[in-house]
Structure 1
Amino acid sequence: MSTRRGFLSVALQTGLMLAAAWQLPRADAQTQAIDALPTQRLQGWLPTPRLMGQQRFTYWGFSIYDASLWANATFAASEWAKQPLVLELRYLRDFKGADIAQRSMDEMQGQRALTPAQTQTWSTLLHQLIPNVREGERLTGVYLPQKGLRLLHQDQLLGEVRDHELAQRFMGIWLAPETSQRQLRQQLLAGAQP
């Protein structure tokens, strides 16, 4: 049981969220093509939606999820936190929401130390927001600078995060230079301007 828990924690290091929150054919020949997000789904958040990149996240040979990043056509990788974006994770196996929330906290702590108050408040919020996911289900994170983050599960709104720092740190799990998964970040930002 503890081995399985350890695997879940490590496997979800880039794992959810709130996002956590997007899809097309892969550059990686070992991954399978996934359906494109309907443009109309994105236009409410992104005036000129464009797929920036996508990648299958695997851990020790286990496929965890397919990640896709959508942003406006003018999206610049160096300014990712100042621009609206949509990150979708399509899970390839079942996970408990509590495990995803905990791994998200660990990843955010890895970017930069959290205060005890942030740790408590953010952990409580993520545990409340993030549901259990089953194989094939999607979690979508809609990041809107200066507004926060919206988390959707299967296109149904789970809730909003209005704490701008939490929203940015959460998306930073995948997009911040300090992410533990730099190759995944590189693939997600592959189509962005420098």
Structure 2
Amino acid sequence: MRQLLTTRSHISRRITLAAILLALSGVASSISASPTSDFQKLGEGEMNYMFWTIYSAELFSSVSTGEQALKIEYQKSIDSQALIDATEDQWNQLGYTQKNINAWLEPLNALWPNVKPGNTLTIIVAEDQTSRFYFDDQPIGVVSNKEFGQAFLSIWLSEKTSEPKLRKQLLGLVK
């Protein structure tokens, strides 16, 4: 009887350990999954200033939902205010109204962190035009303004972008 109880206890511990390991492997795979893993990459390119690479960027699209994603991996340290100022400059260049720009910048002030080499910022613009931001593949916030996402992507994808070569690379028009 004692041996049977010991065997049952041993089996019970092994099953519990196996369940824990299985659960942890599921957690680990969900933690390491990129927010763009279900998307198709359209293109990629780099933003260079003189002889420095500032960041590399990848544009993704979901064939089934029409969602778009832009993932930027930084090669230089940039504080969040400098990122926000650069975004404002680009929107001004594209001709958006200051009223819209101010409304769009407000959530970025709360969401965006300082970046260092190797950090990534990703935006996913959903079917309903809600924009989700990720920092190093972890969610950092949502912008629900329906015009924001396309205005943000236009910085890279508009025909009036300040970086036409990068635009073509992201759209997969050139290698």
**Same fold flag (TM > 0.5):** yes
Q: Is the 8 A contact 1:51 1:191 kept in 2?
A: no
TM-fit CA distance, 1:40: 6.8
What CA distance in whole angstroms lies between the structure 2 residues aligned with 1:42 and 1:154?
12
Q: How does 1:92-171 map to 2 (within 5 A)?
A: 92-115=75-98, 117-171=99-153
**Contact 2:133–2:141, Cα closer than 8 Å, also in 1:** yes
What TM-score, normalized to structure 1? 0.66
Q: How many residues align?
A: 143
Question: 1:187 — aligned with what?
Answer: 169
Structure 1 moving runs of 4+ over 6 Å: none
| Identity in percent | 25
Unaligned runs of 5+ in 2: 1-31
Matched, 1:69 2:63: no
CA distance in 1, matches of 2:49, 2:68: 25
- Measure, in 2, the Cα distance between the counterparts of 1:98 and 1:54: 25
CA RMSD, 1 decimal = 2.3
- Conserved in 1, the CA contact under 8 Å of 2:68 and 2:126? yes
Shift of 1:165: 1.1
By relative contact order (CA 8 Å, sep 6+), the higher-ranking structure is 1
How far residue 41 of structure 1 moved from its aligned partner, in angstroms, is: 4.1
Which runs of no fewer than 5 residues in structure 1 stay unpaired? 1-37, 75-81
Supply the distance in 2 between the matched residues of 1:139 and 1:52 (Cα, whole angstroms). Answer: 18
User: Which protein shows a greater Rg?
Assistant: 2
Bigger proportion of residues as helix: 2
TM-score normalised to structure 2 length: 0.73
Q: Deviations over 1:18-43 (max 9, x none)?
A: xxxxxxxxxxxxxxxxxxxx887435
Q: 2:129·2:147 contact (CA, 8 Å) conserved in 1?
A: no
Candidates 18, 21, 36, aligned match of 1:42: 36
3-state SS of 1:172 partner: helix
Per-residue deviation, residues 163-182 of structure 1 (Å, max 9, x unmatched): 11122101111112221111
